[in-house]
Structure 1
Amino acid sequence: MLTEGDPAPSVTAPMATPEAARDAERGNYTSDDVAEFDLETVLEDGPVVLAFYPGVYSRTCTRELCELRDWRAELAELDANVYGVSADTPWSLLAFIDEYDLSYPLVSGFNTDVIAEFGVQREDGPLRGIANRAVFVVDPDGTVTYTWSADQPLTFPDTDELATEIRAAGDP
């Protein structure tokens, strides 16, 4: 797993956005509904929060993504882009965004190296290839400034601490 001070990898991956989920009819998604996530490009707008999670529609991940949705709404003044990242396909991510009214994009690690590049990919067992639960803050220069990983299910990062780290990452 990457640590604080490490350069973030230059990654691109398919992305499901709230706009596409809202505009498309659920169950009828096409490749036209899928955007591209490019970390270097989104860093041009300020710090980035990447919240890695195993997969949509699981009990713990659904709770985590909804808590992140609610937390993000409370801290709208933070100058950071928030992205969820999992091994799910972009079409299942679009359906999840639609069903749970998420206001932030979800990045698909399906058939990409984004999860492995951040060092959070499960290497063995029946869920090999999915992401372990982890959060990274990346500053606009592409440096990882904060990391958190879960040791137990239903464990989430301290949002006050995360907010402090996001603010620090945005300060020149």
Structure 2
Amino acid sequence: MLDEGDDAPEVTAPMATPEAARETDRGSYTSDDVSEFSLADALADGPVVLAFYPGVYSRTCTRELCELRDWKADLADLDAPLYGVSADTPWSLLAFVDEYDIQYPLVSGFNNDVIADFGVRREEGIVRGIANRAVFVVDPSGTVTYTWAATEPLTFPDTDAVEAAVAAAARE
């Protein structure tokens, strides 16, 4: 897993946005509904929060993503976008965004290295390849300024600590 002070990797990956999820009927998504996420482009506007999670529609992840949805309003004042990242396909992410009214984009680690590049790819077991639960704050220069990783199931990041890290990264 990347540590504080490490340079974030160059990341380009498919992304499901709330706008695309609203504009197309669930079950009718095509590649035209999938956007491209570029970490470099996102960082042009300030710090970024990346929340890695194993997968949509699982009990713990659904709860976490909905908690982050509810918490995201606090980040709006800090002007830092939040992106969820999992190994799910962009189409399943679009359906999840639609069903749970997620108001932030979800990045697809399907068929790319974003999860491995951040060092949170599960390497063993029946579900190897999914992301371990982790949060990173990346400052505008591309430096990781905050990390958090779950050590037990049903644990979630301290959102106050993430907010403080975002505020600090924005000042740098």
**d(CA) in 1 for partners of 2:152, 2:14:** 28
TM-score, normalised to structure 2, is 0.99
**d(CA) in 2 for partners of 1:161, 1:45:** 21
**d(CA) in 2 for partners of 1:79, 1:144:** 17
Q: Which moved more, 1:67-76 or 1:122-131?
A: 67-76
Any conservation in 1 of the 2:137–2:165 contact (CA below 8 Å)?
Answer: yes
Q: 3-state DSSP class of the match of 2:130?
A: coil
Q: 3-state DSSP class of the match of 1:55?
A: coil
**d(CA) in 1 for partners of 2:115, 2:32:** 24
TM-score, normalised to structure 1, is 0.99
**d(CA) in 2 for partners of 1:108, 1:141:** 23
**Deviation of the 1:48 alpha carbon:** 0.4
Does residue 81 of structure 2 align to residue 81 of structure 1?
A: yes
Per the alignment, residue 67 of structure 1 pairs with: 67
Give the count of matched residue pairs. 172
**Deviation of the 1:169 alpha carbon:** 0.5
Per the alignment, residue 10 of structure 1 pairs with: 10
Q: Percent identity?
A: 76
Q: 3-state DSSP class of the match of 1:91?
A: helix
Does residue 44 of structure 2 align to residue 44 of structure 1?
A: yes
**Deviation of the 1:74 alpha carbon:** 3.5
> Aligned runs of 1:150-161 on 2, under 5 Å?
150-161=150-161
Q: 3-state DSSP class of the match of 1:64?
A: helix
CA RMSD, Structure 1 to Structure 2 (Å):
0.6
Distance 1:74 1:160, change over 3 A: same
Q: 3-state DSSP class of the match of 2:15?
A: strand
Per the alignment, residue 31 of structure 1 pairs with: 31
Per the alignment, residue 92 of structure 2 pairs with: 92
Q: Which moved more, 1:76-85 or 1:139-148?
A: 76-85
The amino acid of 1:65's aligned partner reads L
**Deviation of the 1:76 alpha carbon:** 2.1
The amino acid of 1:114's aligned partner reads V
Per the alignment, residue 144 of structure 1 pairs with: 144
**Deviation of the 1:78 alpha carbon:** 1.4
**d(CA) in 2 for partners of 1:83, 1:74:** 15
Q: 3-state DSSP class of the match of 2:76?
A: coil
**d(CA) in 2 for partners of 1:11, 1:74:** 26
- Structure 2 residues without counterparts, runs of 5 or longer: none
Per the alignment, residue 109 of structure 2 pairs with: 109
The amino acid of 1:68's aligned partner reads L
Any conservation in 1 of the 2:50–2:82 contact (CA below 8 Å)?
Answer: yes
Deviation digits for residues 15-67 of structure 1, max 9, x if unmatched?
A: 00000000011000000000000000110011000000000000000000000
Per the alignment, residue 125 of structure 1 pairs with: 125
